[in-house]
Amino acid sequence: MSQATEASVFIALGSNLQDPLAQMRRALAAIRKLPLRLLGQSSLYQTLAIGPGEQADYLNAVVQVATRLQPLALLTELQQIERQQGRQRTAQRWSARTLDLDILLFEERVCDDPQLTLPHPRMHERAFVLIPLLEIADSIKIPGQGAAKDLLATCHHSGVEKLALNW
């Protein structure tokens, strides 16, 4: 991709700590301040938490942006937003968090860098990612996995509820 070409990127947002709705709204406002254009945004979804211990339900969503940033530069920006909103990374996977921002797809790039794997390595197994993704990109394909619609059909997706909230 040349510097002048914008890439279409899908980013997942999630929160289950410290007023998740406010976290999601602040995250979206911060994303809008990055060097990118917002192309689409899903509804908010309430999702049962997966992971260790008793956790509150998550709010999840997906946004589509167009950016000239390279993948690692965008990742750095998203991790800065997470830190600004109180995200503390721990060794324990799937723990509760104030904010989680994941690059799902960056065009059709496939990348296995120690810092960033594209497409996101578990997105094709997660209804809480696929449902909002399909809401804004109903014919999207995940490189190496296939059509998101077909992948969703193989996922357990009870516990993912669309919310009638503006964000």
DSSP state of 123: G
Residue 50 confidence (pLDDT): 78
Which residues are marked as active site? 87, 97, 100, 102
pLDDT at 71 over 50: yes
Residue 84: partners with Cβ closer than 8 Å, 6 or more residues away: 30
Banded pLDDT at 21 (limits 50, 70, 90):
very high
- What integer is the mean pLDDT of 145-162? 94
Residue 132 confidence (pLDDT): 98
Banded pLDDT at 10 (limits 50, 70, 90):
very high
For the chain, domain boundaries: 7-121
- What integer is the mean pLDDT of 103-122? 96
Question: How many helices and strands in the chain, by DSSP H and E?
Answer: 4, 10
Banded pLDDT at 79 (limits 50, 70, 90):
very high
Banded pLDDT at 2 (limits 50, 70, 90):
very low
Residue 91 confidence (pLDDT): 56
Length of the chain: 167
- What integer is the mean pLDDT of 3-16? 91
Q: Hey, what CATH topology would domain 7-121 get?
A: Alpha-Beta Plaits (3.30.70)
pLDDT at 87 over 90: no
Percentage of the chain beyond pLDDT 90 is: 83
- What integer is the mean pLDDT of 137-156? 96
Residue 150: partners with Cβ closer than 8 Å, 6 or more residues away: none
Q: Which amino acid is at 133?
A: L
Q: Are strands 141-142 and 36-41 parallel, antiparallel or unpaired?
A: unpaired
CA 41 → CA 60, 65, 82, 88, 133, distances in Å? 11, 9, 19, 26, 9
Banded pLDDT at 72 (limits 50, 70, 90):
very high
Residue tagged 């899908």 (tokens) = 10
CA 73 → CA 54, 61, 69, 91, distances in Å? 34, 22, 6, 23
Structure tokens at 56: 């509150």
- What integer is the mean pLDDT of 37-52? 92
Structure tokens at 3: 């510097």
Q: Can you tell me the distance from the alpha carbon of 8 to that of 10, in angstroms, rounded to the nearest whole number?
A: 7
Q: Can you tell me the distance from the alpha carbon of 157 to that of 152, in angstroms, rounded to the nearest whole number?
A: 8
